[in-house]
Each structure stands twice: as C-alpha cells, then as structure tokens.
Amino acid sequence: MITNIPFGEKYAGLSIFAPTEGTLVVVPSLSLPQDELRRITGARCYEERLLFLLLTLREPGVNVIYLSSAPIDPAIIDYYFRFLPDPEEAAKRLTLISLDTPDAQPLTRTLLSRPDALERLRAAIDGDAWVVPFVLSELEEELASLLSVPLYGPATSLAYYGSKSGSREIGAEAGVPMPRGFRDLYTLADIEDALESLPGDRLIVKLNDAYSGLGNAIVPRGDLRATSFAAAGETWTTFAEKVRERGAVVEEFIEHEPLYCPSALASISPGGAYEVVATHDQVLGGPNNHVYQGCTFPAASEYRDEVGDSAGRIAAALAAKGVIGLFGMDFFTMKTDAGYAALLCEINLRIGGTTHPYGAALLTTGATYDPATGLLMADGRAKYYTATDNCSADCLRGRTPEQVLRRADRLGLGFDHDRRTGNVFHLLGAIPEHGKLGFTSIADSREEADELHRETRRALCG
C-alpha cells in the first residue's frame, strides 16, 4: 500500500498560499470521472487553474515545478510574471514540464508511464519539496512515493469523507445541520426506497464522487421517468450503472425561496492546524441550476458567520481524522424566524472552483484574511471579487491569449498594481480552440467588483 510521506516538523504549518522556501511540484492532473470531464468545454485547459501558484515565486526561497499535458503558451507565463517584483529572477526558479500529450487524461497517469519525464522531474527537485495536486488519487500517491516527496493533500484512505455519503457522515459528526436524506446507496432499489421515505414533491439523487453538480438528478415524487439530470444525455440506465460503481445519496429537495448557495474554503496544515480562509456565494447554472459557473467573495453578510461557523466545525472534524490540504464545503442557506440557517450540501475534499480566484486575489493584492469579519484586507481596505470559469464567445475563438490580454489592457480592464484592483485572467489556454476563458474581478466594494465583471464580459464576450 502506498502511503503519504510525512512532512517534517519544519513544515508543519505550511500553506501553499504563503510558502517561504522549498519547491512546489504542481501536478494539476484532472484525476476525476472522465465521463463527466468530457462534458466540460476545454477541460484539458483546466490544468491551468493552478497557475496562480506562480505568484508564490515572489519569495526568493521558493521554486515551482509546473507539469502540464500540453505546452503552456509562453505569453500566459509572462502574464503571471507581470505580478512579480522581479520577473527575470523568478523565471530562474520556475521549471515547466510538458508531456506533449494534449488529449491524454489524467496527466498523472501519463506521467507515470513516461520514465523520461519522471527522470526530468526528479532531477528538477532540489531540496525540500511537496507535490501539490489538483485532486488527489492513487495515481498522485504513487507519483509522490516514486519521488519520495510528501503530498499536500488528503490521503486516498480518507477520500470517503469527500464523497456525498462521507459528507453526510462528517456533517453529523460535526453537528452541522443537513437536508434529510440517506447515504451509501448502491442499487436502484435502494434509491427507490429512499425516495419513498422522504417528504416533498421533488427529491434529489447525487452520485458520491461527481463534481460541479454534474452527478445530480432531480426526481418528481412517484415519477422516475420525469427525472431531470444535470448532465446532458444522462438516462436512468447510465445513471444506475454509476450508482452501482460509485454509490449515491438521496436527499430532500430544499424548496425554500429565496434559497442561497454559499460555500466555504478551508485549509488544514500538515501539522493539523485548521482554519476557514474564505466564504463565497456560488454562481450556478445548467439544467437544474446546480452546475458551478463562478463565485463572489465574500458570502453575503447576512449568513457569512453562520457558514463560517459550520465550516469551522467540519474542518475540525476532518483535521482530527488526519486530512491535509485545501478543501471546499457547499451549503444551502435560508432565512427563518430565528435568522439564517445553513445546511451542509457537500464537502469537496480537494482544490475546487473557488481556490484559484481566492489565490489570485490573495497573492495579487497582498491581502490577509480577517476571520472576525470574513473579509480580505489590504492596507486597511477590504477587497471583494467576482469570478468565472465560463466566459465564452465565438468572437474569441481563433485568437491568441496575448491578443486578448492586449485588448483587455487597451480597454482598461487589466490590473492596477497601485490600487490593487482589476482583473486577473485564467484558463487563457482555452481561448484559441474554444473561445473560452476565466477571470477574477477584484475591487474595493461588492458593487465595483460586480460592475467590473459585467463590463469585462461585455467587452470580451459580447
């Protein structure tokens, strides 16, 4: 059995947002269910989500090794170096390793089959290092073992707690309210029994290890034929097979209006210290309005404390089980006679969709998170942001990242380093083929961030 190599006491408090020395071996492999991954436009380019970690090169003792399935456009690397005080010196501490296999997924499986690439990676590691995976699977554990380098992420032996069923177990252990439901269901008969046992005109079935809401199905009471699947082309025949393979939960469908969908981002250090580092409101879309599209920071003030408190209790429970790294938690919130109530929806025991906007905002503004207010503060001023992974338009297809970045600068939509406001772009590699990119709009108020975001969408995407 492959086990995670432990961190030394020297790095017990390590945060990948603020390393002061050592090497980050960034492995942004999409080691996720491939059937759902194929439904995401430009999925391979999601390996670029972790490029915000290049901004840690501002510390002279930090090195970064970044792996990718296909070469990253040099203009994209140059773009991130704009945010560093000494780009030329930082470039000496960056090693890019491309496997030149743009259609291969996941990246780590390809890497493990390439002795030449493994040897180049091993040779690039000098001194203390950590593998920083996008998502941690047995593939990443095997890689870390071969390199004799610890993993900044939860061991696969703890992966259950990041499933929908495991989320319910942790939520119950932490005393966090959840929708009524049943976990660890593996047959269609189990699903049907659970559907009959819960109240409501509609119920929801969720695959254990799906992501971005693509494993959800909404079932009207008593009529499986009218099920609405979040993933296009899904049927009960295909869905039932996934239930047998992965397991599922059935929960009551929260009909309350208005219903809000905040999330929280937390970190557990290798030494076991845990903290909630951000709350967000999610921007959702798709057939059932369950598919992640982007986020706003921070979560609304009306329920921010409630979400943060619940997230802290979950983080404590996971830290006690030995979880390491960054992870997200999704909630439902609603107004009641007693105030706002937060219900745990799921735990995503991996780097998720809110991590790169938060990292970009944190590292470009030099802000620090204030747990008392839930705000990012830079020079006594609060920072807000609105982010998306899904800005797309036909007019962008065929353009280069450099062309789009130049256009953004001409329109005043870049980043103002003096005011520490503006846009930080990502997923730039998806522009030429897919006409798609993402960006995080940072400002000094919620209204300014939203307006900058709208203006940028209009200017770039029509």
Q: How far apart are the first and last CA of the chain?
A: 52
Q: pLDDT digit string (tens) for 112-150?
A: 999 999 999 999 999 999 999 998 899 999 999 999 999
Q: How many other CB atoms sit within 10 Å of the CB of residue 17? A: 18
Instruction: Output the pLDDT for position 292.
Output: 79
pLDDT at 266 exceeding the cut of 80 = yes
**Contact 69/105 with Cβ under 8 angstroms?**
yes
pLDDT at 2 exceeding the cut of 80 = no
Tell me the one-letter amino acid at 382: A
Of 141, 123, 158, 152, nearest to 26 by C-alpha is 152
Q: Supply φ then ψ for residue 123, to 5 degrees.
A: -70, -25
Stretch 286-304: mean pLDDT: 86
pLDDT at 195 exceeding the cut of 90 = yes
Provide, rounded to the nearest whole percent, the portion of the chain with pLDDT above 70. 94
Instruction: Output the pLDDT for position 6.
Output: 86
Q: pLDDT digit string (tens) for 391-430?
A: 989 999 999 999 999 999 999 999 999 999 999 999 999 9
**Contact 158/349 with Cβ under 8 angstroms?**
yes
Pairing of strands 216-220, 228-229: antiparallel
CA distances from 445 to 126, 356, 450 (A): 43, 20, 9
Stretch 329-358: mean pLDDT: 94
Instruction: Output the pLDDT for position 45.
Output: 80
Q: pLDDT digit string (tens) for 351-386?
A: 989 999 999 999 999 999 999 999 999 999 999 999
**Contact 230/215 with Cβ under 8 angstroms?**
yes
**What's the half-sphere exposure (Cβ side, CA atoms, 13 Å) at 374?**
24
Assign residue 272 a region: left if phi > 0, alpha if psi is -120 to 50, beta otherwise? Answer: left
Residue with tokens 């061991």: 155
Q: What is the DSSP letter of 257?
A: S
Instruction: Output the pLDDT for position 38.
Output: 54
Q: Which residues contact 396 (CB under 8 A, 6 or more apart)?
A: 404, 431, 435, 436, 437, 460, 461
Instruction: Output the pLDDT for position 381.
Output: 95
Residue with tokens 């439904």: 39
pLDDT at 1 exceeding the cut of 50 = no
Cα–Cα distance, 426 to 441 (Å, whole number): 11
Stretch 161-177: mean pLDDT: 97
Confidence category of residue 214, pLDDT binned at 50, 70, 90: confident
**Contact 212/353 with Cβ under 8 angstroms?**
yes
Cα–Cα distance, 303 to 307 (Å, whole number): 6
CA distances from 190 to 185, 195, 249 (A): 6, 9, 10
Cα–Cα distance, 164 to 415 (Å, whole number): 38
Instruction: Output the pLDDT for position 209.
Output: 87
Report long-range pairs for 276-280 (Cβ below 8 Å, ≥24 apart): 276/308, 276/311, 276/312, 276/315, 276/371, 277/17, 277/358, 277/369, 278/354, 278/358, 278/369, 278/374, 278/376, 279/304, 279/307, 279/308, 279/311, 279/374, 280/354, 280/358
C-alpha dihedral sign at 244, 250, 255, 258: negative
Cα–Cα distance, 419 to 365 (Å, whole number): 9
Q: pLDDT digit string (tens) for 77-118?
A: 999 999 999 999 999 999 999 999 877 678 999 999 999 999
